[in-house]
Structure 1
Amino acid sequence: MELYQVRAFVAVARIGNVTKAAEALCVTQPAVTGQLKSLEQSLGVALFDRSSGRLTLTRAGELLLPKAEALLAASGELSAIARQLQGELTGRVDFGLPSEPADFLRLGEMATRVHAALPLVELRSRSHSSLQLLDLIRAGTITAGYFIGPHPPRDLQSLSLRSVTYRIAVPLRMAAAHQMGGWRALAELPWIDGLDDSHIHQLMGALFERQGLAPRVVMQVEETSGLDAYVRAGSGCALLREEVAVRGVEHNDWMVWGQAQLDAELYFVTSLEGACDPLTVALTSLVRGVWDR
């Protein structure tokens, strides 16, 4: 039994899909499949039931998953203690971000604090869609990240940083049309949305599902931090952070629809097994310092 096989087992069990787990682990799908089969042969039990065409944990898999997670956590703790014995914290932090402006996420202040407190640590940040970011953290491919959602993600360690409210922005040229009806008329207007696994798409879907409706999406964009530009140009409606939406109304760029809003939270997220790693603990403390003011 090898540690990488255990890591593949945990990743597939958490994500529930071999292809997505392989992407999160940065290996090929056949490699993950082979690692699972080798682990099952080594343990002498089947970890997954594949008979129904869907990948589900067997009873043995359910019982062994907590042990596998504990093994990965112990491995991370062992590495962390070794680094402590060597002296100052070193290494690389891969930090995942939602598609939001750097100023809103306070990335400049975080980078300054990390460079000052952890001079031997390399900080790398990259934007990911929300669901992909969570999968990458679950798989241990990235150290930590910021996640926006109405609830903290399952199976992960999370720290709430601030509340985030979203409002509906409607282009000025569509203002008369939207005033003729309620939610149904609003849903029939053209909408600019994020990709399916983005936080904007998840939030907007939840907002309209409450009304038993779905918005008429005419365009999906990867960089949701620029949705305001599409509304300003009159391309369609969009879900914008409240401070952005209100500022646009003040500048006569668009109008905000009624009192409808959606409340979410910005979370700092790490994996459960990595939460005790000294480098992650230090990073968590620095992030807390950025937002506790």
Structure 2
Amino acid sequence: MEIYQIRAFVTVARLGNLTKAAEALSLTQPAVTAQIKALEQSLGVALFDRSGGRLALAKAGEVLLPTAESLLVLGAQFKSEAQQLQGSLHGAVELGVPSEKPDFLRLGELASAVTQRLPLVELKTQTLPAATLAEQVSTGRLPAALTIASNPPRGVLWQPLRSVRYRIALPKEHAAVLKRGGWKEVAQLPWLDGPSGSHTHLLLRDMFERHGLSPRVVMQNDDQANLDALVRAGAGCALLREENALAGAASNDFIVWGQARVDAVLAFIQPHERASEPALVALSSIIQTIWNPRAPIAPAQL
């Protein structure tokens, strides 16, 4: 039994018309019907009499309607009280983040939402490699983090936000390798890498190790958010987020190599023992609202 099912029942009962109820709920008629049927199944009683092509409250529906209306009122009160409590939260919340573009991490949206919903809370971000983020969150030294990884780290609460696909980008002068070379030849090209433990470093090493190879790294760069600029300048090859790699290839800035790819997940992680802290509960709620994760996320693959 869900609150949205109760809301659908009450709305149809009040309006006495499925079409009007669907419009009021901003849903389709089949969606409203499905919600009511699911509620009836969970309760084990019929709420509406559907005989003769009409829709009227059944006896059970008449009896339960006042209680359902009270539940909606209590739900609204519950939400209002929670929002008031958000205003009483104060202090600083530290959020670890990987080296990535702020727009991709939606840090601007997050900061704006925290300012509006938690006006007395200061959000502090700290950029760290993925392995360090996982280690500090699992030990409770860092209360929360956004991270990019192929698989959930151990010892943390893991909330996936979106899938992230990476592609191999090569400077244009290495175009000949695309015609005559394979993984071995690509591994011998000059490569740009992130620091040890960073998400790009871990993903790059894992990708080549699957082929029994290691990339020839010529430069380690802490700023992984702007690797595309280095590839564009001809400094070396790099793993880039697919949207950046394809955009650069479309602009003829560099080349994307074949169909090679590696998948990961952007996720929000928290320590188990601190997840119930009020400020972290509020932060988790804000992040879920911003990202609104829906579909299941596939594991990493080449």
Question: Normalization by structure 2: what TM-score?
Answer: 0.67
Alignment-derived partner of residue 43 in structure 1: none
Letter in 2 for 1:244: N
1:179 is aligned to 179
Match of 2:13 in 1: none
Query: Partner of 1:133 in structure 2?
Result: 133
TM-aligned CA deviation for residue 179 of structure 1: 2.5
For the residue of structure 2 that corresponds to 1:196, the secondary structure is coil
- DSSP 3-state at the match of 2:201: helix
Aligned partners of 1:188, 1:229: CA distance in 2, in Å?
Answer: 21
Match of residue 276 from structure 2: 276
- The 5 A counterparts of 1:53-92 are 88-92=88-92
Tell me the CA shift for residue 289 of structure 1: 0.5
Residues 66-116 of structure 1 show CA distances to partners (whole Å, capped at 9, x for unaligned) of: xxxxxxxxxxxxxxxxxx99x811121001010000000000001111111
Contact 1:98 1:148 survives alignment (8 Å):
yes
Cα offset, 1:274, TM superposition:
0.7
Q: Provide the rounded CA distance (Å) in 1 between the counterparts of 2:111 and 2:177.
A: 46
3-state DSSP class of the match of 2:207? helix
1:225 and 1:151 map into 2 onto residues whose CA distance is 21
Whichever residue aligns with residue 198 of structure 1, its letter is S
- The one-character-per-residue Cα deviations of 1:170-206 (angstroms, maximum 9, x if unpaired) are 1001111343211001001000000111100000011
Q: Size of the alignment, in residue pairs? A: 210
Q: 1:212-223 to 2 correspondence within 5 Å?
A: 212-223=212-223
Secondary structure class of the residue paired with 1:159: strand
- The residue aligned with 2:256 is 256
Quote how far apart the aligned CAs of 1:154 are. Answer: 0.8
Deviations 1:9-60 (A, max 9, x none): xxxxxxxxxxxxxxxxxxxxxxxxxxxxxxxxxxxxxxxxxxxxxxxxxxxx
Confirm whether residue 113 of structure 1 aligns to residue 113 of structure 2. yes
Structure-1-length-normalised TM-score: 0.69
- Secondary structure in structure 2 of the residue aligned to 1:179: helix
CA–CA distance in 1 between the matches of 2:128 and 2:209? 25
Deviations 1:202-242 (A, max 9, x none): 00011001111111111111111111111101111000000
Unaligned runs of 5+ in 1: 1-83
Alpha-carbon deviations, 1:104-161, whole Å to 9, x = none? 0000001111111111111101211111112222232222111101111110011000
Partners of 1:207 and 1:159 in 2: how far apart? 24
In percent, how many aligned pairs have the same letter? 49
2:153 maps to amino acid: P
Q: Which amino acid counterpart does residue 173 of structure 2 have in structure 1?
A: R
Whether the 8 Å contact between 1:192 and 1:236 is mirrored in structure 2 is yes
Please list every run of 5 or more consecutive structure 2 residues that lacks an aligned counterpart in the other structure: 1-83, 294-302
Alignment of 1:1-293 (within 5 A): 88-292=88-292
1:162–1:265: 8 Å Cα contact kept in structure 2? yes
Larger radius of gyration: 2
